[in-house]
Amino acid sequence: MADAASRSRGARVVLLGPPGAGKGTQGQVLCQHLGVPAISTGDMLREAVAEGTPLGNKVQGIMASGALVDDATMADVVRERLAKPDARRGYLLDGYPRTLPQAETLAGILRDAAQELDAVLLVDVPEDELVRRALLRGRGPNDTEEVIRERLRVYREKTAPLIGYYRERGLLREIDGNRPIEDVTAGMLGLFGAGQGVNPGVDREAAGA
Q: Do 205 and 187 meet the contact criterion of CB atoms below 8 Å apart?
A: yes
Which of 48, 191, 183, 198 is closest to 125 using CA atoms?
A: 183
Domain housing 15: 4-190
Is residue 161 in some structural domain?
A: yes
| Angstrom distance (rounded) from CA 94 to CA 97 | 8
Residue at 80 is within a domain: yes
Residue 209 belongs to a domain = no
Q: Is residue 96 part of a domain?
A: yes
Mean pLDDT, to the nearest integer, of 120-129? 94
The pTM score is 0.82
In a domain, 197, yes or no: no
For position 208, what pLDDT does the model report?
38
In a domain, 199, yes or no: no
- Given pLDDT bands bounded at 50, 70 and 90, which one contains residue 137? confident
**Low-confidence winner among 39-53, 71-85, 121-135, 185-199 (lowest mean pLDDT):** 185-199
Task: Return the CATH number at 142.
Answer: 3.40.50.300
Number of domains, the chain: 1
Residue 203 in domain:
no
